[in-house]
Amino acid sequence: MPRAVFHSVARYTGPGAVDLADRVESLVVLCDQIRNTGEPVLKEEEVWDAEVEPGLPVWRMLFENEGETLSRDLARSLQIVIDQAASLGEGQLAGVNVQGALGLFANGNATQLNTASDLRTLVRSHMGGEPQDAAVFCADCAIAFPRLKLSNAFPQCISTFDGGYQQYAGVLVRCLEALNDDWTNFERGDLPKTLKAFSARSGFETNMEGNGDRKDELSFAFSVEEGISERVICEPHMKLGSSDIAGDNKYYFHRIYFNPRGHTSFPGLTLIGHAGKHL
């Protein structure tokens, strides 16, 4: 299992004397947000027996304590999100290094997920630290980098990294993180100056393509809907000159090409045309 997001017994075990309603409401909202990303949500089966307060297990709070601790609707909502989660098998978590724990309290050793941002951070850590195959990496981009739109050149272009993208996954994730979190689609002004400022913030040199005759080569198809694509020029590029390998001092000619401006077919998104070899 590459990573696990799960309802944790430890995080459902509480000290008592706390208001559970707000915690349950926030957890239900978060579970719905996670499910909408396509990330599987699992559960430790023993979570039903975890005591949210001394003498009050989860199952009793939901099925026999109606209206005393939670409203009927809130209890039903929590029951649904736990029911929807597939059960973890015995020992299934033992081999999973990247774990995100869901629950009501700040307990346990796994990374705690309390917001959608926590999930993005968890997935980014997994993508950079335990890279999977290129198709999985690109699918995870939708969760980790919701403001980015990948072109139809993905995931094939990832294979053009020298020796395989896995050797550069950490660098690649940091670049995509900067584009997702820090790049604001350019509207007007001095674009080279804006790219220079972005270079300073991101730590990766970012500039325009020097040859103005390569616009066709730097145009990429982006899916608008099934069977319909639009070609968009992605001329600015971030330079990925290093790998993740300790002691590797070689300079690599890898690039991420992107469109610096907004596009009417993809409102609010930054378009990524290519990641891999220098085109």
pLDDT single digits (tens) 144-182: 999 999 999 999 999 999 999 999 999 999 999 999 999
pLDDT single digits (tens) 10-37: 999 998 768 899 999 999 999 999 999 9
For 71-90, what is the mean pLDDT? 93
For residue 194, give the amino acid letter.
T
Per-residue HEC secondary structure of 91-108 comes to: CCCCCCCCEEEECCCCCC
pLDDT single digits (tens) 31-63: 999 999 999 999 999 999 999 999 999 999 999
- For residue 1, is pLDDT > 60? no
